[in-house]
């Protein structure tokens, strides 16, 4: 199966079109006010309509309550919910039950011990997204443009698909995929000219470099349905 490529934190029509035209499988929209990529609901509605089933729509939230999630789901009609906070296994299960959507749980990685919660998450989530731990003084989750040690994921045995994030760029995505054998890659700051400002040329370059990586999926293709190009929503 070909590598899944996700461009996250899109906020303008031009950069969303660039991602879609370059062949992104997933496009991500951030709903978290401290982020420079945060979208209001009306803007999210406009961009979601622009996708027109050309890619899977992903809604990124951080410890969002049910009312917030309900508004996002109604407005964007996402194909996948990306939970990027400290959501517990029970909370993930509850979100899936209430909203009936696939869930991708983000896991911050700094050391091998950070992989310990994986069996619990894998039992309820549909995907795992490995990201770097944020710096100690950070106000937002995620690696914030800094990669973690990808060798920590070598020979990883996981029963659900996983994606890789954190400090990826066109220059390093090939090595990242080769080391981790991830089935997908997710980039945000690596295709920006400034925080929250996506760059059309960088988006195209990243997708091209990711496609050149030619990574196989860590799972058999028959065992996975990805919210990719052509997904409903």
What does the angle CA 38 – CA 42 – CA 46 come to, to the nearest 5 degrees? 95
Structure tokens, 103: 């869930």
Residues that are catalytic: 8, 131
- Inter-axis angle of helices 200-213 and 13-21, nearest 10: 20
| Nearest C-alpha neighbor of 19 from the set 195, 209, 229, 203 | 203
**Phi, psi at residue 191, to the nearest 5°?**
-125, 35
Q: Where are the alpha helices (H) located in the chain, listed in sequence order?
A: 13-21, 41-51, 66-76, 89-99, 118-124, 173-180, 200-213
Read off the DSSP letter of residue 14. Answer: H
Structure tokens, 75: 């407005």
| Nearest C-alpha neighbor of 65 from the set 40, 34, 24, 32 | 32
| Nearest C-alpha neighbor of 189 from the set 60, 83, 16, 35 | 35
Q: Which residues contact 147 (CB under 8 A, 6 or more apart)?
A: 132, 166, 167, 168, 172, 176
């Amino acid at each position: 199966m070909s590598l899944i490529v996700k461009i996250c934190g899109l906020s303008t029509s031009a950069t969303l079109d660039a991602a879609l035209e370059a062949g992104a499988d997933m496009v991500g929209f951030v709903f978290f006010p401290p982020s420079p990529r945060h979208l209001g609901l009306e803007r999210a509605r406009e961009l979601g309509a622009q996708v027109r089933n050309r890619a899977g729509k992903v809604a990124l939230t951080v410890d969002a309550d049910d009312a917030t999630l309900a508004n996002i789901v109604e407005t964007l009609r996402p194909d996948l919910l990306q939970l990027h906070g400290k959501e517990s296994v029970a909370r993930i299960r509850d979100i899936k039950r209430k909203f009936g959507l696939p869930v991708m749980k983000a896991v911050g990685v700094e050391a091998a011990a950070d992989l310990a919660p994986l069996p619990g998450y894998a039992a309820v989530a549909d995907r795992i997204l490995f990201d770097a731990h944020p710096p100690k003084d950070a106000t937002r989750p995620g690696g914030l443009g800094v990669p973690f040690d990808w060798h920590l994921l070598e020979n990883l045995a996981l029963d659900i698909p996983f994606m890789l994030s954190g400090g990826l760029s066109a220059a390093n995505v090939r090595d990242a995929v080769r080391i981790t054998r991830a089935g997908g890659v997710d980039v945000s700051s690596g295709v920006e000219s400034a925080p929250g400002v996506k760059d059309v040329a960088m988006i195209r370059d990243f997708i091209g470099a990711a496609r050149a990586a030619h990574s196989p999926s860590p799972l058999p293709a028959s065992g996975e349905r990805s919210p990719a190009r052509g997904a409903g929503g």
